[in-house]
Amino acid sequence: MTTDTPGLDPEDRKIVTLARSARARNGVPEGAAVRDETGRTYVAGTVALDSLHLSALRTAVAMAVASGAKSLEAAAVVTDAEAASDEDRAAVRDLGGPETPVLVASPDGTVRETVSAG
């Protein structure tokens, strides 16, 4: 499973592919992946429990924080939505800063837009 966006940086392609895989493997509405300051990646899907609801991107950021990440280099979300939500971008911004790129991809892996977390 690879992304369909030509010219995408290989490291960004990797997080989009990981996010796409998480979405497909778990049968969830969204898949996400983030890359920390050391190049480690954290992958997650949407969490939808009776007592806990988290988007895939917020779950991936939480996993990075829980694993000791100090910053983020980039984030990707694979979703049917047209854009990353304000809450998702805020979570990325909290850990990575306002300039952290957030790649928003469609389910086929095509990056529709790249926005800053800011």
Each residue of 30-88: pLDDT tens digit?
999 999 999 999 999 999 999 999 999 999 999 999 999 999 999 999 999 999 999 99
Higher-confidence residue: 95 or 8? 95
Helix runs in 42-110, H state only: 56-66, 86-96
Between β-strands 47-48 and 53-54, what pairing exists: parallel, antiparallel or unpaired? antiparallel
Residue 65: Cβ within 10 Å count: 17
The pTM of the whole model exceeds 0.85 = yes
